[in-house]
Every structure is written in C-alpha cells, then in structure tokens.
Amino acid sequence: MITMIPRPDVLAPSVVAAYQSVSPATLGHALDTAMDPNIQALWRPVHIAGPALTVRTDRDLFAAVHEVIKIAQPGDILVVSSAPDSQHAITGEFTLRTAQEHGIAGLVIDGLMADGRALESMSFPVFCRGSSPGLLSAVPRDSLEQEAQINVPVNIGGVNVNPGDLILADDDGVLVATPEEAQLYIQSCQNMEEGEVYARIQLAAGKTLTSIRQELSAAGTPLSVFQPPR
C-alpha cells in the first residue's frame, strides 16, 4: 500500500534559485543539520539545491517512484528512507531515468545504489551510502505488496527532513534547512560566497590572505565569518 500526502509548497522558487550558487559548507556555518558523512555523492563533481520530496519505503523504489512522479515538480529532490540494508541496492538506473524524465533533480537515500556509472552518464545526482550490484528486487519475501508513504517526515543520516525542506548538497555531503531557515540565511550566505570569490581572485594576483582579511575587515565584510541576519 502506498500512501500519498499532498505536497506542501512552502519553499519559494526564488530562494531555491539563490541557493544554486551556495555551497552547503557556507550554510553549514549557521546550521547543525549536516547528514551522516557516509552519505556521499555517488559521482563528482556535483551540486544540487531544491525542495525535499520525501519517501518512506520498506523495499525498492520502483513502485513508489511511479507514484511520486504524479505530484513531482521540476527541481524536486527525492529524499528516501528505507529499511536498513548493508548488502542490497534500493534501486538503479531505469527507475531513476523515469524520475529524471519527470523533472526530479536528484536523490538522497539512506542506503545503497546500483548503476553508478550509468547515473553519472545521465548526470543524475545521487547521495547514498555506497553502491552494490545486488538489488532488493531479487530478494524473496512473504508478501509482494510494498509499503510506502510519500510526503511524510523522514530521518536520513541522523537528520530530520520534512517535505518541502531545502536540500543543499555537493561533494562535501548533504545539508538540510527548513524553508524559514533557508530564507533567513540566504543573504548572509551570498555575502560570504562573494567575499570568498574576491579573496581567491586576490590570492591569484599575488596578495596574501592576511592582507586580504585586513582589507575586507576594514570594509566591514570580514572573510569567512558568517554574518547572521539582524
């Protein structure tokens, strides 16, 4: 049985767009919501930002994804909690091709994946605990009926994720922010990113980091110091 709850539209598209150029480590100055570092990008380099479309399932993702795409919007990121399994992959290439064709921008899953090379070739970002050639679909079980819930709170990598939360992820890992937090900190994140870009340009021109810090501090924009909103 698959239960679907209507999606919440609480994360402004303008906020999502702004985070496309922000690294998780920048927002990580303000939030302690980084997932377990064992949940890593299956291929690199990669960067994604988008609203969480959450799924809790007890088996492979095939049936759940075909329900998810009925409500998915372009840019959504699948965030999947599944029964713990350190041997079998939850899903692979063709299930995620279906998701990608319907605009889903990536997958964060607390488990293993198959077909890593194919997923890289199709540029579909996946964050998981690793890869395996064994699929859950090959494991016998008493009942073939799948239990899944869509758009419910899940816990992934030690972090609670609610449907509609911001998922921000790159080569370093995955960070989660509520819509309110994402809105609150975006300006500080952008300021910090701009300061670091400027610093790298000046370093390439031969300046020292000490002199750059002094210059930015005098201008009221100290380097690598997160400025919380007032």
Say what the pLDDT of residue 134 is.
81
Say what the pLDDT of residue 82 is.
84
CA 55 – CA 153 distance, rounded (Å):
8
Peptide bond into 228 cis (omega under 30): no
Using one digit for the tens of pLDDT, what is the confidence trace for 73-131?
999 999 999 877 888 888 889 989 999 999 999 999 999 999 999 999 999 999 999 99
Calculate the average pLDDT of the chain.
88
What phi, psi does 200 have (nearest 5°)?
-65, -35
Indicate if the pLDDT at residue 139 is higher than 70: no
CA 5 – CA 22 distance, rounded (Å):
30
Say what the pLDDT of residue 136 is.
66
Say what the pLDDT of residue 67 is.
85
Higher pLDDT among residues 127 and 64, named by residue: 127
The average pLDDT across 43-63 equals 88
Using one digit for the tens of pLDDT, what is the confidence trace for 22-31?
999 999 999 9
CA 169 – CA 24 distance, rounded (Å):
6
Q: What is the CATH number of domain 2-178?
A: 3.50.30.40
Contact between residue 226 and residue 29 where contact means Cβ atoms under 8 Å apart: yes
Indicate if the pLDDT at residue 142 is higher than 70: no
Indicate if the pLDDT at residue 137 is higher than 80: no
Looking at the chain, the whole-number percentage of residues with pLDDT higher than 70 is 90
Domain ranges of the chain: 2-178, 182-218
